[in-house]
A and B are shown apart, each in its own frame.
Chain A
Amino acid sequence: MSLLAQDTRTKRRNAAERRFRRYGLTAIGISLAALVMLLTSVFSSGLGAFRQTFIHIPITLTESALDKSGTRDPDVMHKVTTIGYARVINAALAQAIADNGIVIDGLTDDDIADTISKEAPAQVRDAVLANPDLVGQTVSFSILANGRVDGYLKGRVSLESAAIDTKISTRQLALADAMQDKGLMSRDFNWAFITAADASDQRPEAAGLGVAILGSLYMMLVVLCLALPLGVAASIYLEEFAPKNRWTDLIEVNIANLAAVPSIVFGILGLAIFINFAGLPQSAPIVGGLVLTLMTLPTIIIATRASLKAVPNSIRDAALGVGASKMQAVFHHVLPLAAPGILTGAILGLAQALGETAPLLLIGMVAFVREYPGAPPEGFFDPASALPVQIYNWTQRADPAFVERASGAIIVLLVFLLVLNATAILLRRRFERRW
C-alpha cells in the first residue's frame, strides 16, 4: 500500500467533494442566469424611458386665440383651456412642416395634430400663464411627441405594426422620418421621467416618477424617524435591562413572529387603525410610513439585538468596574460599538420597506396622483404615490408605451435599492469591529 496511490475510500470521499462543489456551482449558475435574464429584460425595455422624442418648432402665440381681452391678465387668460392651446400648436406644426418643404401624400390635418402629445398644450399653457408677455410673440418650444411616434424612433413601432394600428398611420411615420431629417424632431435625455408627475392613459410620453419618488422619500423619512428610535430603544431594554422571565420570552417570540407576518396584514391594520379609527387621510405618505414602520420594526429590533449581543461582556464589565452606571455603560460603550450593525439593519429594513406594495394597496396609495405633495411636515398628509406602486400602476395601462415606463421605473427603483444596500455594506466594512 503506497501513500501516493489513493485507496477506494479516499477516492469516494474526494469524488463526493467534487460532486458537492459542482452542485454549488450549478446553484450559483442558475441564480446568476435568472438575475441576468431579469436585468436584460428590464434594461432592454426600460432604458428607452430615459430618452424621449421632442418636436422643436416655433409657435406663434396669437393674441386673438390666447388673450382675447388683450389685458395680459393671467386670471382672465385662465379661461382659455388646453383645447384652445392645442389649436395654436397644431397650426404652428402644420406651418413648420410647410416651411421646411415636407410633403407627404395623403397627410391630413388630423394626422399632423396626432403626432403631438396631448401634454403639449398644457406645457405651452403653463409657459404662457407664467409669462403672459409671451402672447403675440413667436417662441421656440420643444414639445413632446406622441407616444406612438416616440415608439417609432425607439423601434417599438414599425411600419408593419402601424399599418394595422388604429392609433398611428404609416403617413405619420413618414412625417416623423422627414421631421428628423430636417432637425424638427429629435430624441433627448428625458429628465421629466424622473421629475414629472404621472400622466393619464392618453399621454404615456409625459408620465414621470416625480410624485412617486417624493412619496417614497416621505415614507422612508417617517419610517426612519419612527422605526429606528423605537426599535433601538426596545432592543436596548430587552437586551440590557429586562429580566429574563416568561414575559420577555413571550415578547421575544412575538417579535420574531411579527417579522414573518405577510405585509398585506399590516395594510389591513393600517386601514383599520390609522384611517378608520385615527381619522388620518387616505393616500397619504404619513399613513404609508406608519404602516411600513410597523412592518420594519421587527427587522430593526432583531438586527439591533444581534449587534448588541456581539459586543463582548468584558466591555460592559470594564465600564461597570470603573464605576459607570448601567445606563452609562450601555450608552457610552456598548451602543457606539454596536452602531454599525444597527445602522446596517436599519438600512436593510428601509430597503425592504421601499420595495413594498401590498400594504399600500389598502390605504389608498395605489392611485393616480398628479399633484406633488407639499413640503414636510404638511406634505406628509397630502396624497402621494410610491415607486413600487407606480410600477404596478403602469403595468396595468392599456397603451403599450407604458411597458417601457414600467421597466424604466424598475431601473430607478433598483438604483435606489443598490445605493441603500451599498451604504449598508460600506458602513459595515468601515466601522465594524471584531473581537
Chain B
Amino acid sequence: MTRLTITASAIALLAATPALARDQVQIAGSSTVLPYATIVAEAFGENTDFPTPVVESGGSSSGLKRFCEGVGENTVDIANSSRAIKASEREVCAAAGVTDIIEVRIGYDGIVFASGIAGNAFAFTPADWYKALAAEVIVDGALVANPAMTWADVNPNFPAQPIMAFVPGTKHGTREVFDLQVLEQGCQDSGAVEALVALKGDDAAKTCTALRTDGRSVDIDGDYTETLARIASNPDGIGVFGLSFYENNTDKLQVATMNGVLPSTESVTSGEYPVSRPLYFYLKQAHIGVIPGLKEFAEFFVSDDLAGPDGPLAAYGMVSDPALAETQAVVADEVTMQ
C-alpha cells in the first residue's frame, strides 16, 4: 500500500509540472567574466528586492551558443563574453529568433604572462612568443618545424630555460586575443609575415597562429587555476593569465613585462600595456519586462558604484571603461546591435 502512495505521489509530481514563471535572471558564459558577474549578482541580490541571478560559466563560445538557442523562459537572458560576438554567431542567433541583442561593454581585462615566483624573470615582446610557440618558422628561406628548445634560442637575452608554455584552449575568448595581439603581432614584428606570404600565399595569418604540437605549448581547457597548478608542478612553465587572476595570486606568480611595460590596471587603461581586451555581456531585449529585474541588473552592473574605477570590480582586477557613461546610456535606452 505504501509503495502505491509513493508511486502515486511521484506521478502527481510529474503531472504537476506547471510552466512556473522564472523570477531570477539567468546568465551563462565566459569564465573570465564569471567572477565579475558573481560579484555583481551578489551585490544585486543584497541591495535590491530581486533574487540573486544564477550565473553559469563554461567559456564565451559555449555561453553564446546557449544564448542563441532561442527566446523564452527556459533560455538564458545574458551571455558573458570575453570577446565580441561573431557574425556567424549572430546568424545562429537570428535563425533561432534571437534578434534584438543589446551589447554591453563592462570594462577591459589585461592578459598577462607569468611564471612561478621562484623562477627567472622575463621581459617579453610579442615576437618572442611567436618565435617560441609557432609550429613552423622560416629558417634560411624554408618553412621548417620550430627548432627553438629554450628561451635563449628565441632571444639571446633570455636564460636557457626550456620552453614550456600553458596557453588557454580554443574555447576560451582569451585564446583569440592571444592569437591576435601576441602571435600575429609577433609574426608581423619579426618580419615573418612577408616571408610567409611570399612562401605560402594569403593564408599567412593561419601559419602565424598555428601553435607547435611537440608538447612545448600546452592548451589549457580548464580555468586559470589549472594553469596555476601546472606552473606549480613545472618550474619552467610560463602561463597566460587574466590580470585579475594574477592580482589575486601575486604571492605565487611573477609577472613578465610586455614591450617593457608591467601589466597593471593603470597601464592597461592608458593603453601602454599592449595585450588587453574588452569584456562584454549580451542581453536579450525580448526578455526585458518578462524576466523581473533583468534591466535593473544590467543597469546595476554598469553603474559607477560597481563598474566605475573605485568600484568592487576594479578592486578585483577589472580595468574600468573610461567611456562607461556611453555604456550606461546604451543599457538605459535599450540600444540593440545593428
Interface of A toward B, CB cutoff 8 Å? 78, 81-83, 118, 122, 125, 161-162, 164-167, 199-203, 222, 225-226, 228-229, 232-233, 275-276, 278-283, 286, 361, 364, 366-371, 377-378, 380-381, 383, 395-400
Q: How distant is A416 from chain B, measured CB to nearest CB, in Å?
A: 22
- Complex Cα gap A225–B8 (Å): 10
Known: A282-B74, A364-B28, A378-B20. A229 touches B244 (CB 8 A): no
Contact: B22 with A281, CB < 8 Å?
A: yes
A165 and B24 within 8 A (CB): no
- The CA of A226 and the CA of B14, in the complex, are separated in Å by 9
Chain A nearest CB from B313 CB (Å) reads 9
- Answer whether residue B10 sits at the interface, using C-beta atoms and an 8 A cutoff: yes
The reply to whether the CB of B292 lies closer than 8 angstroms to some CB of chain A is no
* Among all A-B residue pairs, the 3 with the closest Cβ atoms: A370-B52, A200-B38, A201-B35
> Which B residue's beta carbon lies closest to that of A233?
B7
Q: Mark B1-25, 1 if CB is under 8 A from A, else 0.
A: 0010011011001101101101010
On chain A, the residues within 8 Å of B14 by CB distance are: 226
B residues apposed to A, CB below 8 Å: 3, 6-7, 9-10, 13-14, 16-17, 19-20, 22, 24, 26, 28, 31, 34-35, 37-39, 41-43, 45-47, 49, 51-52, 54-58, 69, 73-74, 76, 117, 222-225, 244-245, 247-252, 305, 312, 315-316
Report B-chain residues with C-beta under 8 Å of the C-beta of A281. Answer: 20, 22, 73-74
| Contacts between chains A and B (CB distance < 8 A), count | 129
Q: Are A161 and B46 in contact (CB under 8 A)?
A: no
B34/A368 in contact, CB under 8 A: yes
Known: A283-B56, A370-B42. 15 other contacts (CB 8 A): A122-B46, A165-B250, A200-B38, A201-B316, A202-B39, A225-B6, A229-B10, A281-B74, A367-B56, A368-B34, A377-B16, A396-B31, A396-B225, A398-B244, A399-B248
A229 touches B39 (CB 8 A): no
Nearest-CB distance from A289 to chain B (Å)?
10
B42 (CB) vs chain A CBs: closest residue = A200
Give the Cβ gap from A407 to chain B, nearest Cβ, in Å. Answer: 14
Cβ of B176 to closest chain A Cβ, rounded Å? 20
Q: Which residue of A lies closest to B253 (CB)?
A: A164
CB neighbours (8 Å) of A222 from chain B are 13
A383 touches B74 (CB 8 A): no
Q: List residues of chain A with CB within 8 A of the CB of B42.
A: 199-200, 203, 370
Bound complex: CA A167 to CA B251 (Å): 9
CB distance from B165 to the nearest CB of A (A): 20
Q: With the chains together, A397 CA to B36 CA distance in Å?
A: 12
The answer to whether B54 and A369 have CB atoms under 8 Å apart is yes
30 A–B contact pairs at CB < 8 A?
Answer: A81-B305, A83-B305, A161-B251, A165-B250, A167-B247, A200-B41, A200-B42, A202-B312, A202-B316, A229-B6, A229-B10, A275-B74, A278-B17, A279-B19, A283-B54, A364-B28, A364-B54, A367-B55, A368-B38, A368-B54, A369-B54, A370-B42, A370-B45, A371-B51, A383-B24, A383-B54, A395-B225, A397-B35, A397-B225, A400-B248
A341–B319 Cα gap in the complex (Å)?
60
Q: Choose one: A118, A232, A366, A378; the contact of B312 (CB below 8 Å).
A: A118
B244 smallest CB distance to A (angstroms): 7
Q: When chains A and B are docked, how far (Å) is the Cα of A131 from the Cα of B56?
A: 34
Q: Given A201-B39, A280-B17, A370-B42, do A225 and B10 touch, yes or no (CB 8 Å)?
A: yes
Query: Which of A78, A164, A226, A367 contacts B250 (CB under 8 A)?
Result: A164
Name the distance in Å between A381's Cβ and chain B's nearest Cβ.
5
Question: How far is B226's CA from A398's CA once the two chains are assembled, in angstroms?
Answer: 10
A100 CA to B293 CA, complexed, in Å: 45
Assembly CA distance A395 to B227 (angstroms): 12
Indicate whether A371 sits within 8 Å of B52 (C-beta atoms), given known contacts A201-B35, A201-B39. yes
Whole-angstrom CA separation of A368 from B51 in the bound complex: 13
Instruction: Give the Cβ gap from A378 to chain B, nearest Cβ, in Å.
Output: 7
Contact yes or no, B248 A398, CB < 8 A: yes
- Chain B nearest CB from A328 CB (Å) reads 14
Pick the residue among B38, B69, B74 that contacts A201 (CB under 8 A): B38
Q: Are B39 and A396 in contact (CB under 8 A)?
A: no
From A125, A200, A280, A369, give the contact of B39 (CB < 8 A): A200
Cα of A278 to Cα of B19 in the assembled complex, Å: 10
Chain B residue numbers with a CB within 8 Å of A81 are 46-47, 305
Q: How far is the CA of A233 from the CA of B10 in the complex (A)?
A: 14
